Amino acid sequence: MRLVLGEQGMVYLERIDSASQRMGQLIRDLLELARGSHCDIKLEMVDLSAIAGEIAGGLRPWRRSGRFNGRLRRAGCRGDLPLLTVALRNLLENAFKYTRRLSGAN
C-alpha cells in the first residue's frame, strides 16, 4: 500500500522536519550550556535584534491567528552568542506559545 500526501501533508512534514532540526539544535545548545563550567564564555558584541528576527521568522509559519509583532529597536549587548541565543529563543518561543490564542496578542 502506498500513501500519497497532498500539498497540506507536505506542509506538515516540512514543519515537523523544521521543528525537529530546531529541537536538535536546542538540545545541543542546552548540553553546551550544561557543560558551561568546563568551557570558556566568549564575550563579544551581539546583535540581539538580528537574533530575535531570525527566531521570529521561524515562528511565523506556526502562527494560526493574529500576528507576530516583530518590531524591535536595534538592541545589542556584550555577551556569549550561543548562550544569549538559547536564552532569547526560549523567551520568544514561550511568549509565542502562551499568548498565541489570546485575542489581540502580538
- What is the pLDDT at residue 69? 57
- What is the pLDDT at residue 97? 76
Angle at alpha carbon of residue 33, lines to 28 and 38, rounded to 5°: 115
The answer to whether position 105 is within a domain reads no
- What is the pLDDT at residue 45? 92
The answer to whether position 59 is within a domain reads yes
The answer to whether position 104 is within a domain reads no
Q: For residues 103 and 76, give the distance between their C-alpha atoms in angstroms, rounded to a whole number.
A: 31
Range of the structural domain that residue 74 is part of: 7-99
- What is the pLDDT at residue 47? 92
Total count of domains within the chain: 1
- What is the pLDDT at residue 46? 92
The answer to whether position 106 is within a domain reads no
Name residue, grid cell 550561543: 82
Mean pLDDT per block of 10 residues along the chain (106 residues) reads: 83 88 81 66 88 80 53 78 84 78 59
- What is the pLDDT at residue 100? 67
